[in-house]
Amino acid sequence: METFMLTAWSNHQEEYTAGIADSIEKDFAGVNQLYTGAPDGPEDAGDPSGLPVYGGELVPCEDGPPFVILRPHQVGEAAAFLNAADFDSLWDASGAAISSTWGDTTLDREIYLSHHEGLRAFYRTAAQAGQAVIKAFWY
């Protein structure tokens, strides 16, 4: 899996353009908070609000952090959650807490809206194709 993900990362721009990859480089904890209402995610592991960012099964990696895999049914759940999620309502509930770190609510809102739209499109495409999603948390 590590070799596969390293190859995917080296082809990230092409895969991103093709709609088969997405990435959140520094805001993933904030995006998770946007969806779950809490920095650490939902208490209920079955809650689909936690699937887009941290959700899935941990797959150990020899060198570095583990990968996370979402099985096709979980990808479908994440896609359905994101499709139904109203960004403005999510932002009204969590935006102030997320923006308190950076202090520019308008800019932060646009950044998080972009993340939301990207994740929505990515998970919809993966769910329609019946695919799993592999996540790497590389720093």
* DSSP secondary structure string for all residues of 30-91: HHHHHHHSSTT--SSTT-GGGTTTT-SEEE--SSSSPEEEE-HHHHHHHHHHHHH--HHHHH
- Write the pLDDT tens digit of every residue in 46-97: 678 889 998 899 888 877 778 899 999 999 999 999 999 999 999 999 888 8
Pairing mode of beta strands 133-136, 67-70 = antiparallel
Task: Please check whether residue 51 lies inside any domain of the structure.
Answer: yes
The pLDDT value given to residue 78: 96
Give the domain range for residue 108. Answer: 2-6+33-136
The stretch 89-110 carries a mean pLDDT of 83
pTM: 0.87
**Residue 12 lies inside a defined structural domain of this protein:** no
Does residue 22 fall inside a structural domain?
no
